[in-house]
Structure 1
């Protein structure tokens, strides 16, 4: 029987995890079980323990602050942590949450992208989540998915930092922002919107002032991050 340090696990939970442990170790990724009350790790498959160079007891004894600050990138966590919270609140038996996250392992200063999927593993008698299961699979650094994950993180960070500026724009200004980002001239935009080019030029200046954007590249960043193009 696998030994777990966390006192929150009941004998029934121990037994359930033990029944799956051999299968977890055959999965080509890392399997992690979290208890939902404090989101602490209560189980990790052998592959993950080897990467962290820790025993199961050592992992389970880490505080949340130690565990997440030591191995996880704080920037991309700002994106997926709220999604996990919303997923747990929804408590939908049919759903699985997938997300990118970066991890850093001992003796390696490089962040490594992983694709992780989380589901509810165990519910209590009131049908509330008790344990979750996450399978985390590394993404080859040369794979196009790693580049995509980098781009998504960059855009999400830009969105969080600039949502206040974007909210200042009127509906018409957002429409013109989209057209500017597509490379259209004031005359072309004016023709499409049935307004004067002078009015478009005024909107352009107001958009740049509200967004504090000085270049076409910065304008396009807003359009991409806020799904205008």
Structure 2
């Protein structure tokens, strides 16, 4: 069976399914096919999707940082000739500019005669925005992005500064931190200034966010 025949077979049922289905080229992730509901969500037609550069497709409809992360997982599966699917959460921007969360699965859709993967298929199931699971997932994804964006600045902290940051996040005063770490009060104040400068902290809430994100609490 050719890829054309396999896509034709998919088309016969895909528009009756309640979730977006996407077939992409494995070499550059360009869209080859998308069913009706997927096209309606994005507000485009298939010809337009097939004509745009894959990087433009990602930039227009997806969170680029998240896409990079799960694209690497998918690429590794392809390189390993794995038939397993890759599961991930992704944020998608609809035609009205609203971001929605989807639980997606991608796997191999077609191989050529040499056994090389040429096409991938993805199903994307929408998650209700007010569902408690969706809220938790969004919060987790925000934490992951925060980690990714701030890992380099957090790495600038010394071991002692991380200890002080933890105690700051717990609400201890400089005097209490000095007593707990057995260091001078002036030394604590110096550490606090350096921490605020390195992490660009504006308030104690941001100190708590760093401490939680980097498992100090």
TM-score, length-scaled by structure 2: 0.78
Q: What are the ranges of 5 or more consecutive residues in structure 2 without an aligned counterpart? A: none
Runs of 4+ in 1 over 6 A off after TM superposition: none
Q: Which residue of 1 aligns with 2:67?
A: 80
Distance 1:205 1:58, change over 3 A: closer
Aligned residue for 1:136, secondary structure, equals: strand
Q: What are the ranges of 5 or more consecutive residues in structure 1 without an aligned counterpart? A: 1-10
Matched, 1:102 2:92: yes
Task: Judge conservation of contact 2:92–2:102 (CA < 8 Å) in 1.
Answer: yes
Alignment of 1:149-160 (within 5 A): 149-160=137-148
Count of equivalent residues: 213
Task: Judge conservation of contact 1:88–1:129 (CA < 8 Å) in 2.
Answer: no
Aligned residue for 1:120, secondary structure, equals: strand
1:45 aligned to which of 35, 43, 65: 35
Aligned residue for 1:213, secondary structure, equals: coil
Distance 1:26 1:197, change over 3 A: farther
Alignment of 1:160-179 (within 5 A): 160-179=148-167
Give distance in 2, aligned partners of 1:80 and 1:177.
Answer: 32
Q: CA deviation at 1:95?
A: 4.6
Give distance in 2, aligned partners of 1:172 and 1:121.
Answer: 52
Q: Which residue of 1 aligns with 2:15?
A: 25
Distance 1:90 1:187, change over 3 A: farther
